[in-house]
Amino acid sequence: MSLSLENHAAVVLAGGFGRRIEHLLPDVPKPMAPVDGKPFLEWVVRFLAAQKIGDVILSTGHLADVIERYFHSQPVKNVRIRCIRETRPLGTAGGFLHAVRQTGDRAAAWWVLNGDSLTPVALKAMSESLDDREISGAILGVKVADASRFGTIAQNALGELAGFNEKQPGAGVISAGVYLLRSSAIDRFPDKMPLSFETDVFPALIAGRTRLKVCVTSAPFLDIGTPESLPLADDFIRKNQNYFEP
């Protein structure tokens, strides 16, 4: 049975401190950085809404009140938005798990996205990866000319996740921070907190022979987390406007 895009909720990770750009955003959490007239986080929500993913959970932490107040007063059309706050830093995967558990929702699979990055691309291929019942999840990989800031994804001969390489100059495929995970895979997360996707969860899943498909794209990628990348965000949104419209 195919897992359609719209049948699963998305958890957007928006709880980080954003240390590298906090001097540019006094009293504003990094995902709420103003970009082309809206908080960047709203563009992430609109990206999901444009692909008919209408149930969005924001995993908040640092300056959570700012995010909660904004989306309470400025709802996004056709999207149900819930904010679930961490009471202490839990890491990326820990924040995701906390959000899922607090909702009490049961789902066959969950979308996970970072609240400070975007890759404008159709997510259909990731969803279709799970048509194969042996595949427990999918991760979006992006081809970049210089992967030195991020490290790269290692894949096996089947195009599945084999691990992560250390940061080094040169072209490569990096993680876009977009995942689709079956609930059965989430049940196999390590039992610890805080919990990171890249350093804890994915290595443990691979070691347990959990199969995760890497869906590679050449679409543009933006991470607003540095003083150099944040000023690029306005133009990035404008050039990819069709990915943010229903």
CA 223 – CA 230 distance, rounded (Å): 8
- Note the pLDDT of residue 23: 78
**Is it the case that residue 1 has pLDDT exceeding 50?**
no
CA 58 – CA 99 distance, rounded (Å): 8
**Is it the case that residue 4 has pLDDT exceeding 70?**
no
- β-strand 152-155 against 109-114: which pairing, if any? unpaired
**Is it the case that residue 79 has pLDDT exceeding 50?**
yes
Which residue segments constitute the domains of the chain, with CATH numbers given? Answer: 5-244 (3.90.550.10)
Q: What are phi and psi of 74, to 5 degrees?
A: -130, 70
**Is it the case that residue 110 has pLDDT exceeding 60?**
yes
Task: Tell me how far CA of residue 166 lies from CA of 26, 56, 144, 154, 173, in angstroms.
Answer: 32, 32, 15, 10, 12
- Note the pLDDT of residue 24: 77
pLDDT digit string, tens, across residues 88-105: 999 999 999 999 999 999
Percent of the chain with pLDDT over 70: 96
pLDDT bracket for residue 17 (50, 70, 90): low
pLDDT digit string, tens, across residues 115-174: 999 999 999 999 999 999 999 999 999 999 999 889 899 999 999 999 999 888 999 999
- Note the pLDDT of residue 7: 65
Residue 209: which region, alpha, beta or left (left: phi > 0; alpha: psi -120 to 50)?
A: left
CA 50 – CA 122 distance, rounded (Å): 10
Q: What's the mean pLDDT when you consider all of the chain?
A: 93
- Note the pLDDT of residue 18: 57
Picking from 18, 186, 217, the residue whose alpha carbon sits closest to that of residue 93 is 186
pLDDT digit string, tens, across residues 200-229: 999 999 999 999 999 999 999 999 999 999
pLDDT digit string, tens, across residues 41-69: 999 999 999 999 999 999 999 999 999 99
